[in-house]
Amino acid sequence: AQEKDVLRTEKLLKELVPEQIAQLLETTPPELRHFIWEHVEPEHHGEVLAHLNEEVRTKLLETLNREEIEELAEELETDDLADIAQSLSDENKAILLEALDEDERVAVETAMSYPEDTAGGLMNSDVISVRGDVTIETVMRYLRQLGELPDNLLELIVRDRHNHYLGVVKLSDLLTHEEDTKIEELLDASKPAVLVLTPAKDVAKLFEQNDWVDAAVVDSDNHILGRITIDDVVDIIREEAEHAQMAQAGLDEDEDIFTPPLVSARRRAFWLGINLLTAVFAAWVASFFEDTLDKIVALALMMPIVASMGGIGGTQTATIIIRAMAKGVLSGPNMRALIRKEILVGTLNGLFWALATGAFAWWWFGDALLGFVFGAAIFINLVAGAVAGALIPVILDRFKIDPALASGLMLTTVTDTMGFFALLGLATVIILRHSV
Amino acid sequence: AQEKDVLRTEKLLKELVPEQIAQLLETTPPELRHFIWEHVEPEHHGEVLAHLNEEVRTKLLETLNREEIEELAEELETDDLADIAQSLSDENKAILLEALDEDERVAVETAMSYPEDTAGGLMNSDVISVRGDVTIETVMRYLRQLGELPDNLLELIVRDRHNHYLGVVKLSDLLTHEEDTKIEELLDASKPAVLVLTPAKDVAKLFEQNDWVDAAVVDSDNHILGRITIDDVVDIIREEAEHAQMAQAGLDEDEDIFTPPLVSARRRAFWLGINLLTAVFAAWVASFFEDTLDKIVALALMMPIVASMGGIGGTQTATIIIRAMAKGVLSGPNMRALIRKEILVGTLNGLFWALATGAFAWWWFGDALLGFVFGAAIFINLVAGAVAGALIPVILDRFKIDPALASGLMLTTVTDTMGFFALLGLATVIILRHSV
């Protein structure tokens, strides 16, 4: 049976591309991962590691022995090695660096010196650059000498004699011009290079907006350092989207889905605890109206309804605002117009649902005054939700706090508290005062 | 002042790339959009329209006069025209088609025949394909004749004499081989073409997994129809991510953020209404315990806390499961292992928070039995949240319902109802029975 497993695994792995193998590893319980890893073809090791999420990668690398690490040093390119080195234990990092020759070691150490989430962390060092004052014929001879060219090579980077970035020249232009044409005649100097410390997020925006497939990376003196290709940028875009989704639930997108339950539980407990605090705060506000609750039990049934309607309405507004902010070109007056619109939408829905729910509560509890209080509380909370949903993301953004992470929580605090306060406060003032 | 506005607008627009202009239009109130549009350089019109969201585009196109539409027909490529034609009124569509010559009209009508969210809807018709039995020299002569080549041209598509897809040849290979080399010697036959009706989502996956920059599109007989480039795929990935985010709040990502408030309010009212139904259902369940609530007012304050803790815990689990499903390679046994793990995490957090909240409630209300009931309800609801959070996305997926859209709603229904039921039920059985 063991042997059959091996054969089946090898067959399966042959049909998968590295990214799929990485996903397979992430969705496989940890104890089986090393077994799969051993059967991945060595030439895919680097790309598989590059696609793994951080926690899974770190754990997998811990299970490798000296031989397997030395094998990695041999197979992988320097930019991949730099990525991986950051997840290795100090001991294993030393093994890896020792296994490299001098040039490679310097390249890896340079690459490691840039933060992972910058252009420097994304770039490969496999740059092919040519001087502007040579002819197409010379370039073609040079390329033939190189033999193996990088994947997805669309254009060559053009430099001066001091390795300063000048622009790019398209391979297709090399093909369609006479061989004695000088490179500088074909140079596209309008395409900028990316500064090495540009945040990865901004790099992704540049690629998207300009429909780039690759770009040169330079230091602040305009020296060419490396090249970023679109496939790395696509990964960034995916990760960003994942981050937004996970952050809303207080989760870390780099978490291994098979983290031991006790560890997962501890991490998530934090978020549950914060939520508990906000829920308790709302309950504490409501507790000032215990007398009212004691006299009108129906209010206890209405409290969660009022809170949830405000929360939903506010979430809709906050989602729209967060998306508009992410688009990034919302100027002051337009943002104010959008906020006004959102508050108006909340008011309109508040009016509609106040009438609908008020009538419903009148029918359910057979009490017109109670129906009025319920409807009025719904109206107040839908407006409060819209106002909070519009302003909270803007305020968080101004304080450089990720709106995706904190908006939901702060919004619920507002809508829960305001919902309880409006409902119980109105009931106290209108119903109790009248009946006593 | 008017004139100053015009100058300022023109200056601003010159600094923006088409995607940024599209975002500017989306985040500008509708009445100002046509003014901006008139000052966009005509050669950017096509790309700006391609990047606009559907509702904004439709509204903008409605404001164009006959002349402006004929201008579009002149400037735009056929694939962009096909996109736009689908948003035009019948009258304007006729104007557009009339302004085209015979060949272009056929190309536009063919492109319009493929659904927008398939490979056919994504592809451009600007394919450059060459036969396998010609030499590099012939190809180079052919490319020179063409003059203007498409952007981001990395490789040429190789066909047989009947326009069947055979594979691709890299431009870099053409550069590094002798001119009398036959194309078929350099052919990469291992790169597949994309079938014209492949869903856009799957096209994006293919590009991501294989690090493609472009791909040929073929019909079911392997005839070459067009070419998809990475920039269109990047847009798909962004839209997918946006959809996931918006759907969670019951919003449509194609909505214009400046839709008139009354229209927005009506659309969002639907989602609020569904949420109201679920909240009322939970309240209805709680209403069976009115007697208990009447006797122990503190329960009214605890109800929303129990419901919200279950909801948060369940959302965390559902987010993890939805993400794991999106990765797409989660096999049966691994999925079961993940579900088991998630339920275990919920149970562990349930135990912890049951103790913490139970002790807290004991202190707050000075009643040990009430503290016990509260803690027990928290435990039950955190476990229920984990079970529901794990199973609901799986079940929705089996019924082909988008989990991002419906999971949150169904989950809250479960955790609200179960939370109220557990808290009030336990209070009735344990406290009331004991005290009477």
What pLDDT does residue B304 have? Answer: 93
Alpha-carbon distances of A96 from A69, A116, A245, B233, rounded to whole Å? 6, 19, 36, 37
Chain-wide mean pLDDT for chain B? 87
B258 touches chain A (CB under 8 A): yes
A12 pLDDT band (50/70/90 cuts)?
Answer: confident
Separation between Cα atoms, residue A218 and residue A221, nearest integer Å? 7
In what order do the strands lie in the sheet containing B224-229?
A: B194-195, B214-218, B224-229
Helices (H), A366-402: 368-398
| Residues of A in Cβ contact (< 8 Å) with B308 | 275, 279, 412, 416
Separation between Cα atoms, residue A390 and residue A325, nearest integer Å? 11
| Of B80, B70, B122, the residue nearest B101 (C-alpha) | B70
Amino acid at site B213? V
| Residues of B in Cβ contact (< 8 Å) with A257 | 320, 323-324, 338, 341
Question: Same structural domain for residues B287 and B390?
Answer: yes
Question: Same structural domain for residues A109 and A207?
Answer: no
B388 within domain boundaries: yes
> A42 pLDDT exceeds 90?
no
What is the mean pLDDT of the segment spanning A408-412? 89
What pLDDT does residue A40 have? Answer: 87
What is the mean pLDDT of the segment spanning A26-53? 84
Question: Same structural domain for residues B179 and B67?
Answer: no
Contact A300 B299 (CB under 8 A): yes
Contact B304 A348 (CB under 8 A): no
Contact A144 B213 (CB under 8 A): no
Instruction: List B residues 387-426 in contact with A (Cβ-Cβ < 8 A).
Output: 412, 416, 420
What pLDDT does residue B330 have? Answer: 62
Contact B241 A246 (CB under 8 A): no
What is the mean pLDDT of the segment spanning B380-387? 96
* CB-CB contact of B416 with B311 (8 Å): yes
Contact A29 B231 (CB under 8 A): no
Contact B211 A151 (CB under 8 A): yes
* CB-CB contact of B423 with B288 (8 Å): no
Interface test with A, best of B349, B382, B402, B424 (most A CBs within 10 A): B349
Give the count of alpha carbons within 13 A of A1, CB side only.
0
> B435 pLDDT exceeds 70?
no
What is the mean pLDDT of the segment spanning B422-433? 89
Contacts of A326 (CB under 8 A, 6+ apart): none
A337 within domain boundaries: yes
Contact A174 B175 (CB under 8 A): yes
Separation between Cα atoms, residue B410 and residue A190, nearest integer Å? 53
Question: Same structural domain for residues B290 and B363?
Answer: yes
Domain boundary among B62, B91, B116: B116
Question: Same structural domain for residues B306 and B361?
Answer: yes
Contact B241 A237 (CB under 8 A): yes
| Residues of B in Cβ contact (< 8 Å) with A231 | 208, 211
Separation between Cα atoms, residue B249 and residue A248, nearest integer Å? 12
| Residues of A in Cβ contact (< 8 Å) with B144 | 176-177
Instruction: Report the gap between the CA of B264 and the closest CA in chain A (Å).
Output: 7
What is the mean pLDDT of the segment spanning B125-129? 83
Contact A207 B320 (CB under 8 A): no
* CB-CB contact of A226 with A108 (8 Å): no
Per the structure, the complete domain to which residue A37 belongs is given by: 2-117
| Residues of A in Cβ contact (< 8 Å) with B246 | 319, 323
| Of B136, B121, B77, the residue nearest B235 (C-alpha) | B121
> B1 pLDDT exceeds 60?
no
Chain-wide mean pLDDT for chain A? 87
Among A220-224, B160-164, B168-172, B430-434, the least confident range: B430-434
Domain boundary among A117, A149, A167: A117
| Of B376, B346, B309, B311, the residue nearest A262 (C-alpha) | B346
Question: In b/e form, how buried is each residue of B328-348, taking b as 16+ CB within 10 angstroms?
Answer: ebbeeebbebbbebbbbbbbb
Name the helix (H) or strand (E) containing A297: none
* CB-CB contact of B386 with B317 (8 Å): yes
A300 touches chain B (CB under 8 A): yes
Contact B316 A268 (CB under 8 A): yes
> A436 pLDDT exceeds 60?
no
Q: Which two tokens stand for residue A28?
A: 């496989």
Coil, helix or strand for A130?
A: strand
B253 within domain boundaries: no
Instruction: Report the gap between the CA of B122 and the closest CA in chain A (Å).
Output: 15
Helices (H), B99-222: 102-112, 119-122, 136-146, 171-175, 183-186, 200-210
Contact B279 A305 (CB under 8 A): yes
B370 pLDDT band (50/70/90 cuts)?
Answer: very high
What pLDDT does residue A331 have? Answer: 67
| Residue A324: CATH number of its domain | 1.10.357.20
Instruction: Report the gap between the CA of A215 and the closest CA in chain B (Å).
Output: 12
Instruction: Report the gap between the CA of B9 and the closest CA in chain A (Å).
Output: 13
For B42-90, write each residue's pLDDT tens digit.
888 888 888 888 888 888 888 888 888 888 888 877 777 887 887 888 8
Question: Same structural domain for residues B59 and B148?
Answer: no
B321 within domain boundaries: yes
| Of B234, B57, B242, the residue nearest B152 (C-alpha) | B234
Among chain A residues, CA nearest to B347: A265
> A88 pLDDT exceeds 70?
yes
What is the mean pLDDT of the segment spanning A193-218? 91
Contact A312 B337 (CB under 8 A): no
What is the mean pLDDT of the segment spanning A84-113? 84
What is the mean pLDDT of the segment spanning B363-375? 93
Separation between Cα atoms, residue B346 and residue B382, nearest integer Å? 6
Domain boundary among A66, A95, A117: A117
| Most confident residue range from A294-298, A422-426, B79-83 | A422-426
What pLDDT does residue B124 have? Answer: 82
Instruction: Report the gap between the CA of A113 and the closest CA in chain B (Å).
Output: 26
B263 touches chain A (CB under 8 A): no
B153 touches chain A (CB under 8 A): yes
B5 touches chain A (CB under 8 A): no
Contact A305 B280 (CB under 8 A): yes
Among chain A residues, CA nearest to B340: A261
Instruction: Report the gap between the CA of A414 and the closest CA in chain B (Å).
Output: 14
Quickly count: other Cβ atoms within 10 Å of residue B213's Cβ.
Answer: 23
β-sheet bridge partners, residue A185: none
For A152-192, write each residue's pLDDT tens digit.
888 999 999 999 999 999 988 888 888 899 999 999 999 99
Position with higher pLDDT, B303 vs A71: B303
Question: Same structural domain for residues A270 and A380?
Answer: yes
Question: Same structural domain for residues B292 and B401?
Answer: yes
Name the residue facing B213 among A213, A294, A308 (closest C-beta). Answer: A213
A6 pLDDT band (50/70/90 cuts)?
Answer: confident
Name the residue facing B27 among A175, A330, A349 (closest C-beta). Answer: A330
B365 within domain boundaries: yes
For tokens 């009214």, what's the residue? B300
A285 touches chain B (CB under 8 A): no
A283 touches chain B (CB under 8 A): yes
What is the mean pLDDT of the segment spanning A388-399? 91
Alpha-carbon distances of A203 from A44, A122, A199, B24, B377, rounded to whole Å? 26, 9, 6, 20, 49
What pLDDT does residue B103 have? Answer: 81
Position with higher pLDDT, A330 vs A79: A79
Question: Same structural domain for residues A367 and A315?
Answer: yes
Among chain B residues, CA nearest to A294: B297
Among chain B residues, CA nearest to A323: B242
> B436 pLDDT exceeds 70?
no
Position with higher pLDDT, A6 vs B307: B307
Tell me the pairing of strands B165-170 and B194-195: unpaired
Interface test with A, best of B148, B188, B280 (most A CBs within 10 A): B280
| Residue B176: CATH number of its domain | 3.10.580.10
Phi, psi of A124 (to 5 degrees): -100, 155
For B134-183, write each residue's pLDDT tens digit.
999 999 889 888 877 887 888 999 999 999 999 999 988 888 888 899 99
What pLDDT does residue A23 have? Answer: 83
Question: Same structural domain for residues A193 and A301?
Answer: no
Contact B268 A313 (CB under 8 A): yes
Separation between Cα atoms, residue A316 and residue A304, nearest integer Å? 18
Question: Same structural domain for residues A284 and A305?
Answer: yes
Contact A240 B237 (CB under 8 A): no
> B362 pLDDT exceeds 90?
yes
A255 within domain boundaries: no
B139 within domain boundaries: yes
Contacts of B336 (CB under 8 A, 6+ apart): none
Instruction: Report the gap between the CA of B283 and the closest CA in chain A (Å).
Output: 5
Question: Same structural domain for residues B374 and B423?
Answer: yes
Residues A204/A209/A213/A215 CA torsion (nearest 10 deg): -70
Contact B20 A174 (CB under 8 A): no
B386 within domain boundaries: yes
Domains held by chain B: number = 3
